[in-house]
């Protein structure tokens, strides 16, 4: 049995006791991933798990059940040409189809609203198309394999809009058709089929049968699951600017150490030689009182002790000079 056979909708080859029984061994090989999706690249149904293609189904049709849908038509504008195998985030995008998303950086915004955007005008893109592209995301499960996991599928504009043609209905017309008959899209098996008359992958939709009651209640639960919510969420990671520094260094930089004040360096050192050599000013000595007897002048120790009193004045001058040096250093 091939991978393709296992991937085909309606396959009952996997026994119930093995469904959702993935173990730590498998997880260790897979690693952290980004969920499951179905790609329509090249007009082939491709099963993508955690960003890697693991299987493909080359049949024209695939039967699924839609369990959830993004309520909005999304928009994306790329200013760079598509390159095979290179994932380039769009320059501007919109989750509600009305205005740029809050995460779009200012330099990426093309207009204040999608209605007035020059990239939303026919002819702004290649071959008369719009440069800003429409898309919509669905969450689906494979028919008869409701326990096999929820898949995301992103549909381009040609698969969304247009009128029915010979039973071929784009998604918008298909939903209106079901709604007109009072039938929910989550209550039927939907066949997605490639339109072979188109040069690019275009998918049309058709209802094949109603769900059974157990299927209906199971689908309602799946539509509320975290997997379905993640599948239809439209979230874009903004581009990094060329040469942009890591977030951590951009947010915080270690400040450069400030030089220590030079006045603090000589505090513990001996007094500088220049001021020791300066003669002590005579005027610094206390003036003898007129009534004091001359013979007592030499005997009184305080008369000789005031010599250091000249030092504070000189030290203050030096400290003042140091202070002025600090001001120049600042």
pLDDT bracket for residue 182 (50, 70, 90) = very high
pLDDT bracket for residue 256 (50, 70, 90) = very low
- Nearest-CA neighbor of 77 among 22, 124, 21? 124
Question: What integer pLDDT is reported at residue 260 of this predicted model?
Answer: 52
CA neighbours closer than 13 Å in the CB half-sphere of residue 131? 18
Question: What integer pLDDT is reported at residue 88 of this predicted model?
Answer: 80
pLDDT digits (tens, 9 = 90+) for 15-65: 555 555 555 555 444 444 458 899 998 889 998 888 888 888 888 999 999
Torsion angle, CA of 48/46/139/28, rounded to 10 degrees?
A: -20
Question: What integer pLDDT is reported at residue 199 of this predicted model?
Answer: 84
> Which residue in the block uniquely carries the two structure tokens 């969420």?
233
Judge contact between 170 and 160, C-beta under 8 A: yes
Sign of CA dihedral 157, 160, 164, 169: positive
pLDDT digits (tens, 9 = 90+) for 76-94: 998 887 666 567 888 999 9
Question: What integer pLDDT is reported at residue 184 of this predicted model?
Answer: 93
Question: What integer pLDDT is reported at residue 12 of this predicted model?
Answer: 44
Question: What integer pLDDT is reported at residue 312 of this predicted model?
Answer: 46
325, pLDDT greater than 50: no
300, pLDDT greater than 80: no
Distance from C-alpha of 7 to C-alpha of 46, rounded to nearest angstrom: 9
Q: To the nearest whole number, what is the mean pLDDT of the chain? A: 73
Distance from C-alpha of 76 to C-alpha of 91, rounded to nearest angstrom: 8
Please give the share of the chain, as a percent, with pLDDT higher than 70. 60
Torsion angle, CA of 160/162/165/168, rounded to 10 degrees?
A: 10
Mean pLDDT confidence for 132-154: 91
323, pLDDT greater than 70: no
Question: What integer pLDDT is reported at residue 315 of this predicted model?
Answer: 46
Judge contact between 91 and 79, C-beta under 8 A: yes
pLDDT bracket for residue 234 (50, 70, 90) = confident
pLDDT digits (tens, 9 = 90+) for 111-135: 999 999 999 998 888 888 889 999 9
Q: What is the pTM of this model?
A: 0.62
322, pLDDT greater than 50: no
């Amino acid at each position: 049995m091939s991978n393709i056979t296992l991937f085909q909708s309606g396959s009952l080859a996997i026994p119930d006791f093995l469904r959702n029984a993935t173990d730590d061994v498998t997880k260790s090989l897979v690693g952290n991933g980004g969920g499951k999706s179905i790609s329509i690249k090249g007009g082939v149904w491709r099963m993508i798990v955690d960003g890697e293609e693991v299987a493909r189904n080359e049949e024209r049709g695939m039967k699924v059940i839609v369990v959830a849908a993004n309520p909005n038509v999304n928009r994306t504008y790329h200013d760079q040409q598509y390159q095979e195998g290179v994932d380039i985030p769009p320059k501007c995008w919109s989750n509600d189809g009305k205005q740029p998303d809050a995460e779009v950086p200012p330099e990426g915004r093309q207009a204040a609203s999608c209605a007035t955007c020059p990239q939303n005008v026919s002819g702004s893109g290649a071959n008369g198309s719009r440069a800003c592209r429409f898309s919509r995301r669905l969450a689906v499960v494979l028919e008869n394999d409701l326990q096999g996991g929820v898949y995301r599928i992103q549909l381009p504009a040609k698969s969304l809009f247009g009128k029915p043609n010979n039973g071929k209905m784009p998604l918008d017309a298909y939903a209106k058709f079901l709604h007109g008959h009072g039938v929910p899209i989550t209550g039927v098996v939907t066949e997605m089929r490639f339109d072979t008359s188109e040069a690019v992958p275009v998918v049309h939709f058709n209802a094949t049968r109603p769900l059974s009651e157990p299927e209906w209640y199971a689908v309602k639960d799946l539509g509320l699951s975290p997997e379905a919510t993640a599948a239809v969420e439209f979230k874009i990671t903004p581009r990094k600017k060329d040469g942009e520094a890591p977030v951590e260094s951009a947010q915080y930089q270690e400040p450069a150490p400030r030089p220590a004040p030079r006045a603090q360096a000589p505090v513990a050192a001996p007094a500088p030689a220049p001021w020791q050599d300066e003669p002590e000013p005579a005027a610094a000595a206390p003036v003898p009182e007129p009534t004091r007897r001359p013979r007592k002048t030499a005997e009184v120790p305080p008369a000789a002790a005031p010599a250091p009193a000249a030092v504070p004045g000189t030290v203050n001058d030096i400290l003042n000079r140091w202070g002025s040096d600090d001001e120049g250093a600042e």
